[in-house]
């Protein structure tokens, strides 16, 4: 089992860890993770996102023995061959382009391959999952989706409002993704998605990454990998093993201040809710960080999944989707 896992393509659909902590890269390599969708922009504007990319270019030099930049499918295969982790630039918001669609092509040239169109709240494109009202994609948002299709940037709907999500699935000429969410039917939380949306996404060739973020599971930080595997089971039963993947939402080494910024309104207005996160931050029991990624494969095997389906879920489905869109 172990060698079969380490010979496979393993992709995490969403990782938003503290990229200045060297142990993050150690754990990715130790865990045999071939590539990650690494969040490089959330509430950030154009200039800050450009700075973030500049910092990443430095990291690629500092940690050259552990990570490489992914600009193409070939880079993912190269990461596997060199036993490194490929870093895919991803955004969890579209705020970095402001009202200028031409900036999308600039960021595409710099290697941004995945963009979540809204983050929790309303922006120029559409509405987030925590907004009181969701009128769907704006006129600007419809142009934004078309431009992403033209450039070959994968659309992510994880933190996006329901009507905005349905509008995007219908409008997009390419399959879209939900990189890190679960089913609303199983866990009634605004960050999760109704079954009919997941089914429609799958019908059009999309993929959903099952989310392992403890705050969105019923037992919170007492949740275990078995709780997470239950969510994967539900999604596989719903749409089959060809449309389900992993999106851990790892936040390794992130601080309480970072979480307060994350859950603020537009990145500036502090949340009225108390943000309870353990310090140091911990993830699921049995899936504490990316070094334990193999436990997902082992757990699926213990539940009766055959190895071909396991390979799809732990990375193959993301790879297939990237090939379609990029």
User: pLDDT at position 274, please?
Assistant: 67
Quote the CA–CA distance of 277 and 285 in Å, as a whole number: 15
* Nearest alpha carbon to residue 84 among 64, 104, 99: 64
How many other β-carbons are positioned within 10 Å of the β-carbon of residue 45?
A: 14
Handedness of CA 66, 72, 75, 77 (dihedral sign): positive
For 138, the 3-state DSSP assignment is coil
Quote the CA–CA distance of 234 and 229 in Å, as a whole number: 9
Walk along the chain (326 residues) and give the pLDDT tens digit of each residue: 578 999 999 999 999 999 999 999 999 999 999 999 999 999 999 999 999 999 999 999 999 999 999 999 999 999 999 999 999 999 999 999 999 999 999 999 999 999 999 999 999 999 999 999 999 999 999 999 999 999 999 999 999 999 999 999 999 999 999 999 999 999 999 999 999 999 999 999 999 999 999 999 989 999 999 999 999 999 999 999 999 999 999 999 999 899 999 988 887 877 766 677 888 888 999 999 999 999 999 999 999 999 999 999 999 999 999 999 99
How many domains are there within the chain? 1
Quote the CA–CA distance of 13 and 314 in Å, as a whole number: 10
Domain span at 80: 2-325
Pairing of strands 85-91, 154-156: unpaired
Is this prediction's pTM over 0.95? Answer: yes
13's tokens: 């659909």
* Nearest alpha carbon to residue 201 among 231, 174, 228, 234: 174
How many other β-carbons are positioned within 10 Å of the β-carbon of residue 312?
A: 24
The CATH code of the domain that includes 237 is: 3.20.20.140
């Amino acid at each position: 089992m172990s060698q079969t896992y380490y010979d496979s393509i393993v992709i995490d659909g969403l990782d938003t860890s503290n990229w200045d902590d060297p142990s993050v890269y150690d754990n990715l390599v130790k865990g045999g993770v071939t590539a990650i969708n690494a969040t490089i922009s959330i509430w950030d504007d154009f200039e800050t996102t450009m700075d973030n990319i500049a910092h990443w270019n430095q990291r690629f030099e500092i940690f050259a023995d552990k990570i490489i930049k992914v600009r193409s499918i070939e880079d993912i295969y190269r990461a596997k061959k060199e036993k490194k982790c490929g870093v895919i630039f991803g955004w969890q918001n579209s705020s970095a382009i402001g009202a200028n669609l031409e900036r999308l092509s600039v960021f595409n040239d710099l290697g941004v391959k995945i963009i979540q169109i809204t983050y929790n709240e309303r922006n120029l494109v559409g509405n987030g999952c925590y907004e009181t009202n969701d009128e769907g994609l704006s006129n600007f948002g419809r142009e934004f989706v078309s431009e992403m299709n033209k450039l070959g940037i994968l659309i992510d709907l994880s933190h996006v409002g329901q009507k905005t999500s349905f509008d995007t699935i219908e409008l997009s000429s390419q399959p879209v993704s939900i990189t890190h969410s679960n089913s609303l039917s199983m866990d009634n939380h605004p960050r999760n998605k109704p079954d009919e949306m997941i089914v429609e996404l799958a019908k059009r060739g999309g993929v959903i990454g099952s989310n392992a973020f403890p705050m969105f599971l019923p037992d919170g930080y007492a949740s275990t990998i078995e709780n997470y595997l239950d969510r994967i089971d539900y999604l596989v039963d719903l749409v089959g093993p060809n449309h389900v993947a992993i999106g851990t939402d790892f936040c390794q080494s992130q601080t309480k201040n970072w979480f307060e910024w994350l859950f603020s309104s537009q990145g500036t207005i502090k949340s009225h809710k108390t943000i309870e996160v353990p310090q140091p931050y911990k993830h699921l029991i049995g899936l504490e960080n990316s070094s334990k990624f193999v436990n997902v494969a082992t757990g699926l095997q213990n539940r009766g999944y055959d190895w071909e389906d396991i390979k799809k879920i732990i990375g193959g489905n993301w790879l297939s989707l990237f090939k379609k869109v990029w």
